[in-house]
Amino acid sequence: MFSYLQHRKNCKIKQQDRANRIASLPSYYSTPLTSQDRSILSTPIGTLASNIRNKEWAPIDVLRAYGKKSILAHEATNCLTEVMIKEMEEYVEGKEFTGPLAGVPISVKDTVSIKGFDYCIGYSSLVNKPALIDSPLTRLLKDAGCVPYVKTNVPITLLSFESTNDVFGRTSNPHNKDYSPGGSTGGESALLAYGGSRIGIGTDVAGSVRVPAHWAGIYTVRAATGRFMKSMNVSINAHMYLVLNTPRSGGGN
């Protein structure tokens, strides 16, 4: 009985923390998308990074465009777990980005540890135990110029073709809320399909990015074994894969 009560308490605390983080964002995150926002969101990744390197676009403006869209995606699908947008505003302000993905916002599955944020993967017992350091994958992404701004929902244990857990709730498919976006990387597929991210990272042992990509109508690049490191500061053994968005009708695009 006591463990169940603690479970419910931890779930409520985490959901309230997520709601507070969204509510505390600057007011422009709740305003309609501007013409510049739409231009940024429709720009391919290579061009986006080039524009940032050439100082044609400021990294903060790119982050804000994707931040706005990710919040809209979350309202429609409940796809987000950790909302790191405010901290990333401080990270990009005044920073000169280089590298192949200079200044490109990137979403990551909740399994990936980022310093200062939880990676509870749906377990209430892991709530309020933030990572002490960035995982090797996070450091690799940052070295490439990426800006990790949100983390996305998963099923508890990761062994499911759904994406639901007591901590964060159920993620729905952006094309039809009565359907699932797949699993276990379902939060990523919902966010990408809605247009709230262009590039995301997930894990796959038995279809955990391939199924969500199919169900949400996006592309996934299945990397060869060993292409990405397995160390993510969580107790799972899975290879890393790259998930890419492709514009299509529906899902808020």
Active site residues: 109, 184, 208
Strands 105-109 and 199-204: parallel
Closest CA to 200 of 165, 244, 234: 244
Query: CA-to-CA distance for 190 and 172, rounded, in angstroms?
Result: 7
Q: Is 106 exposed, middle or buried (0-12, 13-18, 19+ CB in 10 A)?
A: buried
Find, among 76, 78, 149, 151, the residue nearest to 111 by Cα: 151
**Both tokens assigned to 108:** 């990551």
Residue 224 CA to residue 210 CA, distance in Å, equals 14
Which strands form 219-221's sheet, in the order they lie side by side?
Answer: 80-83, 147-152, 105-109, 199-204, 239-244, 219-221
With CA atoms as reference, report the closest residue to 51 among 97, 107, 86. Answer: 97
Distance CA 204, CA 199 (A): 16
